[in-house]
Amino acid sequence: MEAWQESQQKANLYLQDNFAIGSSQVVRRFELDKVQEPVLWAKDPQDALELVKKFQSAPELQINFLSDLTAYDNADKKEGAGGRFVVVIQLLSTLTKVRLRIKTMLTEGQPMLSLTSVWPAANWLEREVFDMFGITFEGHPDLRRILMDERFHGFPLRKEYPYKQREPFSDNVKINLDSKDAHS
Amino acid sequence: MSTAPTNEEYINLNETIETSRDFYNPNVLINLGPSHPAMHGTLRVMCRVNGETIEQSKCEIGYLHRGIEKLGEEKTYHQWIVYTDRLNYCSALNNNIAYVMAVEKIMGITVTERCMWIRVMCMELARIIDHVICVAINALDMGAMTVFWLFYHWREEAYTMIESMCGMRLTTSYARIGGMSYDLPENLIPRLKKFVEEFPKAIDEIEGLLTSNRIWIDRTKNVGKLSSEEALAFGLSGPCLRASGVDFDLRRDRPYYVYPELDFDVVVASGGDVYDRYLLRMEEMRQSVRILKQCAERMPGGPLWVDDRRVRIPEKIDVYTKMEVLIHHFKIFMEGIDVPPGEAYSCVEGPNGELGFYVVSRGGPKAWRMRIKSPSFMLFQSFEKSILGEKIPDAVSILGSVNIIAGELDR
């Protein structure tokens, strides 16, 4: 077994001991995904931020890198009936080479806490999540659309958003020509 | 020339003319891009400049947004392979392989030995092409045309090899879930051996042109500096992270496929400026050549495809002659591959950094969520900060050195 697999296993054991159900106030569920990477379900956004800060200082983990921050729709309630969206935080340590994932369930309209105070890298990632899902982030310095136009309504990656919907922008310039077939 | 106005008089003179007032204004707003040859692709940076110094900047992205992540929820796993070509179109092979790797992880498939070696070879070839583009265009932006001509010859050679493998030069779509679309052509290994023999000479030649070139050093040294703390905080990965002095490479630290068996070094620099990124990319190309050499020597035989009926695309000759195989073929292409429920985050060390695919499956032939973690997204975010205090032409050289690909940035 290689060194990174060993430290990943050690981290998995550490997380299992400390955050498996019953032994922790902040984690709702602990599981391993298809490639044996740990997934922790934080009880609420506040707990997610707390977990991130705890993992930064834990010697088994030494998390120092935000790999990715994204979300997915829970419209089919397969992840539980308690919420509409799942926010996913991918974390990595360049020191121990450990990878792990924190998830939080949000109801529609419930804000997530911003990670920009921990990593400035979260800035654009959170803007993208807001752009695509309409999830707001408390404490974000500049929360506005990033990939879509600012005039755009709707949130494209929500399941109810139709795949081929077009959205003409409201301020298209009207043409007022004198000829009889002109648009008005 | 005694009648010429003094500087102060000149300013007073010009203040009365409405149009030239902006020249002395410390709050001039300019747009770099979105349509400018130096802004690779469609990138736009709005800057407030004082003279020529950029004092504030904001990036505006999304001009190439095609909704690829939404398409990932509408197309089957197999159909979506072609969309991955359109992410980082300079190294499409890397994207193909990183994506099928994620799906294979959910399905619990381990590809065959030969397939692993072919994939590693493809990824290193793509890395060389990407680094060649980055260095050549970066030099071209600063006026070094010769570097561009010399280097692009080798990019063409590499593309010709890729063309002989899969029939495409740019949009390869080479990887398939569980294997590759074609086996290697017979003449590829001799060709690759010739390439790894001759390409390092080109690297030496380019280094002779640039590394100790006074103009190049003046334009690149101490430009766009990022410390290792900043690089980690901004989530940079790949060459830019290593140029800032962080010793992290997924090929060595969380290896996949046959990388543990291969002999190569991880290149680390310490300056974090444009010059160090250039040096690092040159050395990384040499390391990729080392890996390619080992691939050419050790390429094993054996089956290319994994023996798994769920994903195995039947041979064409059997499709035309056997009824059952025809049905099987039809099912794979019309219905798609049934991927069990589950999720996986799979990433490779792409040429620009950590390229990850986060796939959430609810079962069936389509993904529930297809997330692309693109390295360019993080790199461009840091670009906004690293150009502060620099001159406008320096912004161009910094942009070239971080190698942002708009297709991957906007998805």
* Residue A72 sits at the chain B interface (C-beta within 8 Å): yes
Q: Which A residues 9-48 touch B at CB under 8 Å?
A: 33-35, 37
Ordered alpha helix ranges (H), A3-143? 3-19, 45-57, 122-133
Q: How many helices (H) and strands (E) does chain A have?
A: 3, 7
* pLDDT over threshold 80, residue A17: no
Six token digits for residue B240: 């830019």
Smallest CA-to-CA distance from B358 within B350, B366, B347, B349 is with B347
Instruction: Summarize pLDDT for A26-85 with one digit per residue, the tens.
Output: 777 778 787 888 888 888 888 888 888 888 887 778 888 898 999 998 888 888 777 889
**B61–A70 C-beta distance less than 8 A:** no
Burial label, A46 (beta-carbon count in 10 A; 0-12, 13-18, 19+): middle
**A35–B358 C-beta distance less than 8 A:** no
Residue B12 confidence (pLDDT): 60
Which residues of chain A make contact with B246, given a CB cutoff of 8 A?
94
Chain A interface disruption, residue of B43, B345, B355, most A CBs within 10 A: B345
**A121–B235 C-beta distance less than 8 A:** yes
Smallest CA-to-CA distance from A147 within B61, B373, B67 is with B61
DSSP percent split of chain B into helix, strand, coil, nearest 5: 50, 10, 35
Instruction: Summarize pLDDT for B223-248 with one digit per residue, the tens.
Output: 888 888 889 999 898 899 999 989 89
Which residues of chain B make contact with A65, given a CB cutoff of 8 A?
232, 235
- With a pLDDT cut of 90, the percent of chain B lying above it is 23
Residue A184 confidence (pLDDT): 42
* Residue of chain B with shortest Cα separation from A70: B371
* Residue A76 sits at the chain B interface (C-beta within 8 Å): yes
- Give the mean pLDDT of A132-157: 87
Could you tell me which residues are beta bridge partners of residue B371? B358
Residue B9 confidence (pLDDT): 62
- With a pLDDT cut of 70, the percent of chain A lying above it is 90
B49's CB contacts (< 8 A; 6+ apart) are B28, B29, B30, B55, B392
**A86 — phi, psi (to 5°)?**
-115, 120
Cα–Cα dist B84/B168, whole Å: 14
Cis link prior to B34 (omega < 30° from 0)? yes
B9's CB contacts (< 8 A; 6+ apart) are none
Residue of A64, A147, A156 lying closest to B61 (CB–CB): A147
* Residue of chain A with shortest Cα separation from B254: A4
Residue of A72, A121, A146 lying closest to B62 (CB–CB): A146
* Residue A66 sits at the chain B interface (C-beta within 8 Å): yes
* Residue A88 sits at the chain B interface (C-beta within 8 Å): yes
What's the complex ipTM? 0.85
Which residues of chain A make contact with B358, given a CB cutoff of 8 A?
68, 70, 88, 90
* Residue A121 sits at the chain B interface (C-beta within 8 Å): yes
* Residue A73 sits at the chain B interface (C-beta within 8 Å): yes
Note whether B224 and B394 are within 8 A (CB).
yes
* Residue A61 sits at the chain B interface (C-beta within 8 Å): no
Residue A130 confidence (pLDDT): 92
**B234–A121 C-beta distance less than 8 A:** yes
Instruction: Summarize pLDDT for B358-369 with one digit per residue, the tens.
Output: 999 988 888 999
Residue A182 confidence (pLDDT): 46
- Give the mean pLDDT of A95-113: 88
**A:B CB pairs within 8 Å:** 98
Residue B5 confidence (pLDDT): 56
Residue B390 confidence (pLDDT): 87
* Residue A158 sits at the chain B interface (C-beta within 8 Å): no
* Residue A83 sits at the chain B interface (C-beta within 8 Å): no
**B61–A146 C-beta distance less than 8 A:** yes
* Interstrand relation of B44-50 and A99-106 (parallel, antiparallel or unpaired): unpaired
Measured torsion, CA atoms of residues A35, A36, A37, A41, in degrees rounded to the nearest 10? 110
Q: Angle B113-141/B145-166 helices, nearest 10 degrees?
A: 160
Residue B2 confidence (pLDDT): 47
Six token digits for residue A173: 């310039």
Residue B129 confidence (pLDDT): 92
Could you tell me which residues are beta bridge partners of residue A92? A65, A99
Six token digits for residue A167: 């959205």
Instruction: Summarize pLDDT for B114-128 with one digit per residue, the tens.
Output: 999 999 999 999 999
**B354–A67 C-beta distance less than 8 A:** yes
**B362–A76 C-beta distance less than 8 A:** yes
The overall average pLDDT reported for chain A is 82
The overall average pLDDT reported for chain B is 86
Residues with pLDDT less than 50, chain B: 1-2
**A76–B371 C-beta distance less than 8 A:** no
Cα–Cα dist B166/B127, whole Å: 17
Residue A5 confidence (pLDDT): 82
Residue A178 confidence (pLDDT): 60
Chain B interface disruption, residue of A56, A72, A85, A101, most B CBs within 10 A: A72
Residue B285 confidence (pLDDT): 92
